Amino acid sequence: MERFWYFLIPLALLIIAEALWPRRSRSLSRASRWPSAVLLLGSGLVLMRLLVPAGLVGISLLAEDANFGLFNWVPLPVWGVAILGYMIFDLAVWAQHVAMHRIDFLWRFHRVHHADPDFDVFTALRFHPGEMVISLAWKGAVVALLGVPAVFVLWYEVLLNVGAMFNHSNLKIPRGLDQWLRLGLVTPDMHRVHHSTDHVEANRNFGFLIPWWDRLFGVYQDQPVAGHTDMEIGQSRWRGASDQSIWALLAQPRFKP
Ligand SMILES: [Zn+2]
Ligand SMILES: [Zn+2]
């Protein structure tokens, strides 16, 4: 229950901040977008709960009981596990995101996130339940192989959720502050490049929390070519309000890339 507040409070604060300091005007009304994003998230969470009731934390406890996984074999100080675990886990999430774009079957599910013609905090909730299950299987494997302690799994999930809501927010952050934040964190201006309708730009900036992987693997782009207010966001298909209904979003993966 506590985790619900770690989600709800940042969400509420970001919605207020977006209203105070908006980056772009929206192409669709927020009312035509947010209910389906919330329903999509809700259905994904129910599906995940049915498949793996104890979630990632449960997987981590199982690994600990079985004395399985890197951190259970190699004793490290707590801060070492925290830092190394954070970095390896984030790299694994980055690699999964790249795979979601490169493999057609995976892209069909991830495309639902990209087919949002706007970019705000509700885009961060908009993932197809199929992608959420694929993501759970991948993260579960990483948690088990690493043997990350349950407390870190819990914190990493909270950070990832809050980080995703922040870096999708329609928030105007001064350029100097944005560049400074980018030393350690993926910012909205950095992730917005990834939501461009332009194919090249959509294959840049895959990071969710740590911004270094994109630089390291040569897929970093500082700013969109057309600028943040003029760039087109989303996919060239599925731009209308009717494409944003929960049923349209659930059915979207059936269309060929
Ligand atoms: Zn993506
Ligand atoms: Zn995104």
pLDDT at 29: 80
Instruction: Give 47-101 pLDDT, tens digit per residue.
Output: 999 999 889 999 999 998 999 999 889 889 999 999 999 999 999 999 999 999 9
Overall number of domains in the chain: 1
For the chain, the average pLDDT equals: 94
Mean pLDDT of the 197-222 span:
97
Residue 38, pLDDT above cutoff 90: yes
Determine the pLDDT at residue 1.
Answer: 60
pLDDT above 80 for 255: yes
CA 97 / ligand 1 centre spacing (Å): 6
| pLDDT above 90 for 117 | yes
- How far out from the chain centre does Cα 174 lie? 23
> What is the CA(93)–ligand 1 centre distance, in A?
11
Centroid of ligand 1 to alpha carbon of 101 (angstroms): 6
Q: In the predicted model, what is the mean pLDDT of residues 169-180? A: 96
- Supply the pLDDT for residue 4: 83
Instruction: Work out the pLDDT band at 140, boundaries 50, 70, 90.
Output: very high
CA of 76 to the centre of ligand 2 (A): 34
Least distant ligand from the CA of 127: 2
Q: What residue numbers bound the domain in which 49 lies?
A: 2-254
User: Locate tokens 């009981």: which residue?
Assistant: 65
CA of 194 to the centre of ligand 2 (A): 7
pLDDT at 33 (0 to 100) = 87
Question: Would you say residue 240 has pLDDT above 90?
Answer: no
Q: Ligand 1 mean position to 62 CA, how many Å?
A: 31
What is the reported pLDDT for 257? 76
State the distance from the centre of ligand 2 to the C-alpha of 118, rounded, in angstroms.
Answer: 11
Rounded to the nearest whole angstrom, what is the distance from the C-alpha of residue 68 to the centroid of ligand 1? 32
